[in-house]
Amino acid sequence: MRVGLDVGGTKTDAVAVDGSGEIVGRVRRPTGWGPDAVVQGIIETTFALADEAGFSISDIASVGVGIPGMVDSASGRVLHAVNLGVESLDIAERARPVIDAPFAVENDVKAAALGAASLRPGDASMAYLNLGTGVAAGVITDGRIWRGMHGSAGEVGHISVDPHGRVCGCGQRGCVETLCGGGALARAWGRPGELPVLDIFDAAEAGDPVAAGLRADLARGAAAAVRILVLSVDVETVVIGGGLTALGARLEADIVQTLRADAENSAFMRSLRLDERIELLPTGSPVAALGAALLVAAPVECTIPVKETAAHG
């Protein structure tokens, strides 16, 4: 049994994947703050998952962890996971005395990309674009995570697409993330609410011009990210996931419409058929946990199971 955990800022999503690549169990639990709580949470969630899916800890073939932070690909050490209060943490070293299995750790968006790719075994390459509090993408080619030289492959959230745009948390102006990041949109909206981006969409539909502008920004930023991924890496498909997919069909329609409008004056853009190359994941899809389960431990090398890639041919 392979276990995959997506350790998010507020909750941890865990799945158990059997030898044929099927998800046979899933649990979600709150995530703790700081390295001790994160490790304890990973252990407890794994035990809860074993309980839920009816397997024992000794049946675990591997544990994969997706985590929002930098992951040193050689050592598996997590660095600067600021949303979890983690500066530097070797999860494997800390958890292995309790769960005696190989651990693999990966950045959560890259893990999600692997999970999303495993659901599309026909694609030789794809990108997973995560629209959450922040914005980043993971690129998969030939069933493997494309990390780049320093792990910044797919960091399209911090490419500036408007020199006069809003200042980004990263210090630049007009980053893709300032347009389509949930955090940036909530700050620009500035009104209280549990789900500010949902409020923006509703207010836009009720005629609020500020909301309409921000809603257009979201589609514009996502469209820019898709364009960048196709015109740099040239992936076949861009699968869109993350918290903002809770907006569902409304978000997808906005992005498709924006891509089509942008292509109206450009035969070159039309030739790329970007509107046909995106796909929105259903909200709550456990792609990051699934991808984490598919990580191969030590060395951190990532492959889609043979069953899946066999379908390529």
- Does 106 interact with a second copy (rule: CB under 8 A)? no
> Which of 124/311 has CB closer to a second copy?
124
State the nearest-atom distance from the C-beta of 208 to a second copy, in Å: 22
| Among the residue ranges 35-43, 96-104, 147-155, 243-251, the one whose residues contact a second copy (CB under 8 A) | 147-155
- Does 125 interact with a second copy (rule: CB under 8 A)? yes
- Does 247 interact with a second copy (rule: CB under 8 A)? no
- Does 164 interact with a second copy (rule: CB under 8 A)? yes
- 64 forms bridges with which residues in the sheet? 4, 104
Q: How many residues would you count in the chain?
A: 313
| Among the residue ranges 10-18, 54-62, 113-121, 155-163, the one whose residues contact a second copy (CB under 8 A) | 155-163
State the nearest-atom distance from the C-beta of 216 to a second copy, in Å: 11
Angstrom distance (rounded) from CA 64 to CA 175? 31
Angstrom distance (rounded) from CA 274 to CA 176? 17
State the nearest-atom distance from the C-beta of 161 to a second copy, in Å: 5
- Does 82 interact with a second copy (rule: CB under 8 A)? no
List % helix, strand, coil for the chain (3-state, nearest 5).
40, 25, 35
State the nearest-atom distance from the C-beta of 106 to a second copy, in Å: 15
- 301 forms bridges with which residues in the sheet? 296
- Identify the residue among 142, 234, 276, 301 touching a second copy (CB under 8 A): 234
Q: How many CA atoms lie within 13 A of 168 on its CB side?
A: 26
> Which of 102/151 has CB closer to a second copy?
151
Distances (CA, A) of 289 to 181, 189, 254, 274: 21, 31, 28, 28
> Which of 87/205 has CB closer to a second copy?
87
- Does 180 interact with a second copy (rule: CB under 8 A)? no
48 neighbors 13 (Cβ within 8 angstroms): no
The residues in 253-272 that bind a second copy, with binding defined as CB under 8 A, are 262, 265-269, 272
Angstrom distance (rounded) from CA 145 to CA 166? 31
221 neighbors 175 (Cβ within 8 angstroms): no
Placement of tokens 């995530």 in the chain: 31
151, two tokens? 């792990």
Angstrom distance (rounded) from CA 138 to CA 118? 13
- Does 72 interact with a second copy (rule: CB under 8 A)? no
- Does 232 interact with a second copy (rule: CB under 8 A)? yes
173 neighbors 161 (Cβ within 8 angstroms): no
- Does 182 interact with a second copy (rule: CB under 8 A)? no
Question: Which residues are at the interface with a second copy (CB under 8 A)?
Answer: 124-125, 139, 146-156, 158-164, 170-172, 220, 224, 227-236, 262, 265-269, 272
